[in-house]
Amino acid sequence: MTVAEQEITDYVARVRAALADLPPGQRDELTEDLADHLTEVAAEAEGTLVERLGEPETYAAELRAAAGAAPGSGRNLDQRVASAVARVRGRLRTMDTRLGPPLGYETASDFLQLLRPGWWVLRGYLAAMLITVISTGGSFGLLPRFGGELLAGMIMLVGFVLASIWIGRSSGRLTRWPRSAVQVGSVVLVVFAFAALIQAEDRMRYGDYGIDPTSVNGPYDQVRDVFVYDSEGRLVENARLFDQNGNPIRLGYPDCEGRVDEYGNPLLRPYPYCVGRAPFGPRGPGVSPPSAPAAISTPTPESTAAPTSGPTGTPTPSGTPGEPSAGPTVTPSDTPTPTPTG
Amino acid sequence: MDTTQLLKGVLDLAVLAVLREEDGYGYDILRRLREAGLEEVGDASVYGTLRRLFAAGLLTTYVVPSESGPHRKYYSLNAAGRDQLTRSGKLWRSFATTMDSLLDDRGMAA
């Protein structure tokens, strides 16, 4: 590289440096044949480039003006970000003044300013609750606790609220980094507050506060099985219940062993589900072995006692009814079911 | 009022006019402008104006290899450039006439 070439290269570099605030594309476009051009200039006349053309910075300024690339028309990223921020600020200001009157204030921010001390107190409370959640490992109520200790939690609450108020009152004097830290912390607390509210909402909806759901629902919610007795006090087995529309009435749920396989669909299972749990004994003669037919015409004294005198009733001699349907009985058969009409 | 200020407004027109007669490269155009009497025109101004007119689509360029020196980028007027020259020329003429008569009315000798 000759001295002249070196001189030209340096000159171009300094011009480009002076145009550094332009977008790279525009700067390249402006200076792409500057070196060639300067070579011409250097070849045509005596003297150094600086003597002929002036300082590169002056040259750059003239070039910028002639090319119509004054600062502001061609902008780099920083300038574009700055102008975008300015635009957003302008919009917010417009919104601020628009929203003010409906609230009864000149601007919405006038109104929000009044709420600031309230936010400071709330922020202190939220900080205490955040510590509560962290120190107790996730469970929390409405009051702050420190490691489960309510008193310590209350002291912490007072301390945090006072500190938050102090920070709020002195925020104007904070330097940049502490101010940013406070803002980040506030955002964290707001996010935490929303998460906690959602969790609390879920707990309320699913009655996790000790409210027994049966007390507010139907009176049959606690019924687990149904036992039907006929006029003779005999337990009716394989009974089915229907409402006025012919819809089966389902109460309780079969939770005893043994008979589930017989009726795959629990809706088809007749009552009682669990014969062995009949509240009144003895079991009627209807379930007694072969001698039972006699019992139909001549009810035994014992059977009349049921169901009111359950405990005093004496078991029938054959009272080992493992198989309810054994032998001829008076129990309703399994098959006939009332046919809904209409 | 110095000529530099006046030049700012009419350098486009001057460059277009110089290119109308013949295509030229940067330094050549500068020299022609100076020969035409625009002594004070700056190198950077001409170069910058050429780049701007090119970016605006009024000029086309082509490179001519040179045996002695560097390759030269020649600028030439295209249709849009000629159009612009006609319009700007008329505007300048009417403006100059207005200024002339204004000065004449005030008794200034040409």
Sign for the pseudo-dihedral over CA of B98, B103, B104, B106: positive
The three-state secondary structure class of A220 is coil
A67 contacts: CB under 8 Å, gap ≥ 6: A30, B48, B49, B51, B52, B55
Are residues B52 and A65, on separate chains, in Cβ contact within 8 Å? no
- Which carries the bigger pLDDT value, residue A154 or residue A281? A154
Range picked from A89-103, A178-192, A304-318 for highest mean pLDDT: A178-192
Residue A11 in contact with partner chain B when CB distance is under 8 A: no
In whole angstroms, give the CA distance from residue B37 to residue B29: 13
For A29-46, what is the mean pLDDT?
Answer: 81
B40 touches chain A (CB under 8 A): no
pLDDT score for A87: 77
Residue A119 reports pLDDT greater than 80: yes
> Closest approach of chain B CAs to the CA of A193, in angstroms?
56
Give B8-40 pLDDT, tens digit per residue.
Answer: 778 889 999 999 988 998 888 988 998 998 888
Buried b (16+ CB within 10 A) or exposed e, B12-44: bbbbbbbbeeebbbbbbbbebbeeeebeebbbb
Classify domain B3-105 by CATH number: 1.10.10.10
Task: For residue A251, give every residue at least 6 positions away whose Cβ sits within 8 Å of its Cβ, in sequence order, or none.
Answer: A220, A223, A225, A226, A241, A271
pTM over 0.90: no
B73 vs A309, more confident = B73
CB-CB neighbors (< 8 A) of B26 in chain A = 33, 36-37, 40
From the list A41, A53, A66, the residue facing B48 with the nearest CB is: A66
- The answer to whether the bond into A290 is cis (omega within 30° of 0) is no
Least confident of A129-138, A227-236, A318-327, B22-31: A318-327
Among B45, B47, B59, pick the best mutation site for testing chain A contact (most A Cβ within 10 A): B47
In chain B, domain spans: 3-105
* Per-range mean pLDDT, top range of A167-171, A185-189, A305-309: A185-189
Contacts with A62 from chain B: Cβ below 8 Å: 42, 44-45, 48
Nearest to B27, CA basis, from A244, A139, A38: A38
**Residue B75: enclosing H or E segment and its boundaries?**
strand B72-77
Residues in a beta bridge with B97? none
Chain B residues 50-89 with CB within 8 Å of chain A = 51-52, 55, 69-73
pLDDT in tens, B55-99: 889 999 898 887 776 678 889 999 999 999 999 999 999 999 999
pLDDT tens-digit profile of A192-223?
Answer: 999 888 888 887 776 555 444 444 556 677 77
Average pLDDT on A330-335 reads 48
Tell me what ipTM this predicted complex has.
Answer: 0.81
8 A C-beta contact, residue A39 and residue B70: yes
Q: How far apart are CA A40 and CA A43, in angstroms?
A: 5
- Position A265 scores a pLDDT of 64
